[in-house]
A and B are shown apart, each in its own frame.
Chain A
Amino acid sequence: MDRDLIMIALFAALIAALGLIPSVTLISGVPISAQSLGVMLSGVILGAKRGALAAGLVVLMVALGLPLLAGGRGGIGVFAGPSVGFLLGWIAAAFAAGLVMEHTRRLPVWAAGTLAAFLGGIVVLYIPGIIGMSVILDKSLAEATGFALPFIPGDILKSVVAGVLAAALHKARAGVLMSRA
C-alpha cells in the first residue's frame, strides 16, 4: 500500500515536471506541452484507480496554489479559466487509460498503451475539456470543438509516444506495469 502511494506521488511529480519541459511547436503552429503525456502514462502504467489518484493529486495541488501546470501556472484562477475542463478531465482521462490497459492484456504493450492513451487522453479528456471551453467562452459545443481540433494531432503523437514509452519501460523494468499486475 505504501508503495502504491509513493508511485502515485511519483507520477504526480512527473506530470508536474513534464509541464516544465519547453513545449514543442508543431508545423501547424500549435504548441504542445508534454504534460498530458504524463497524464496518459499515469493511467497506462499505474492502472485506472492509481492513475486517476495521481492526476487528482496534481489537480488538488494546483487548487492549493502550486504552479504545477505547463508554464508555471496554478492557483484557483485556473479553475475559472477556459481550460478548466481539460484540467479536471485529467482525472477521468487517466482512469480511462488505465481501464483500457487493464482490459487489453492480450495486446502487446505498445499497442495497448497507444490505444489506452488515445482513448483516455483524447476521447475521454476532450469531452469535459470542450464542455468547459463552451461554458466559459459561451460558445456552442460545436464551436468549442473547433477550438480544440488543432491540438488533436499533437495529442495523437503523444498517445504513440506513451505507448512506445510504456513498452520501453516494461522491457527495462519488468513488473513496472501496475495496470497489468
Chain B
Amino acid sequence: MLSLTSETPTPFHRIPAGAKLGALALASAAIFQIPSPALMALPVAVAAALYLSCGLRFARQGLRALRPLWPFLALLTLWHGITQDWANGAMLGGRLLATVALANLVTMTTRLEAMIAVMAKLLAPLRLIGAKPGRIAFAIGLVLRLTPAMLERGRQLGLAWRARARRRRPGWQIVLPLFLTALDDADHIADAVKARGGIPD
C-alpha cells in the first residue's frame, strides 16, 4: 500500500537512509538551539531550498505534507498576537516548520525497505532481551496486509448500512461488526500460519 515515499526521483533518494537520519537528528538538535527569531529564518529557507531543488512538483508534495501543522501555526499566531510577542511566535512557528519539513524530506526520499533495514540494525540489541527481529518483520508485514483489508471491510459494511438505513453515512454502528469480522480473520490467519509451520524467529 500506501507509503509516504515520493515517486518523483530526487538526488536525496540516492543518499543512504542511515546518513539521512543522522543528518536529520543533528539538524533538529541544532535548530532547537537557535536563540533568535531572525536566525530561525535560516533553517526555514534551507528546508524550502532543499525541497525546491527537487522541482516544483516535489515541493508541492512537501507543502501538502505540512498541512497537519496549520492548526498549530494558527494557534501560535493567535496566542502571540494576543500577547503582542510576535518575535517569539515567529521563532516557534519557524522552528516547527523547519524541523517537521526536514523530517518529512527524509521520509519522502527514503524507500520503506531502506528504513526497515535501518530499523533492523537499531533494534538488533533488543535480541539480547529476547526480542525476535523475524517476528517484528512478520508483524509489520501482517499490518501492511491487514490495514487495507480492514478498510475494504469497513467500506463494505458502510455500503450494507447505507442500503438498509435512511441515514446516508454510517458511523459507530459499523465498528462492532468490523471488530467481530477482524477477530474471525485472526482465527483464520492463526490456522494458516500454523499450517505453514509457524512464524519464523
- A156 neighbours in B (Cβ, 8 Å): none
Report whether over half of chain B's contact residues are helix, strand or loop; otherwise say mixed: helix
- A169 neighbours in B (Cβ, 8 Å): 176, 179-180, 183
- A57 neighbours in B (Cβ, 8 Å): 139-140, 143
**Residues of B in contact, count (CB < 8 Å):** 64
Task: Please tell me if A152 contacts chain B, counting CB pairs below 8 Å.
Answer: no
- CA gap between A13 and B176 in the complex, in Å: 15
Binding site for B on A (CB under 8 A): 2-3, 5-10, 12-14, 16-18, 20-22, 24, 34, 37, 41, 57-58, 60-61, 63-68, 71, 73-82, 136-139, 147, 161, 165, 168-169, 172-173, 176
A–B pairs, 26, beta carbons within 8 Å? A2-B193, A3-B186, A6-B189, A8-B139, A9-B143, A10-B186, A14-B150, A17-B150, A17-B154, A17-B178, A22-B169, A41-B179, A65-B107, A65-B115, A67-B2, A67-B3, A75-B65, A76-B103, A77-B107, A80-B99, A80-B103, A165-B175, A169-B176, A173-B180, A173-B183, A176-B183
Binding site for A on B (CB under 8 A): 2-5, 21, 24, 28, 65-66, 68-69, 72, 75-76, 79, 88, 92, 96, 99-104, 106-108, 110, 112, 115-116, 119, 135-136, 138-140, 142-144, 146-147, 149-151, 154, 169, 171-172, 175-176, 178-180, 182-183, 185-186, 189-190, 193-194, 198-199
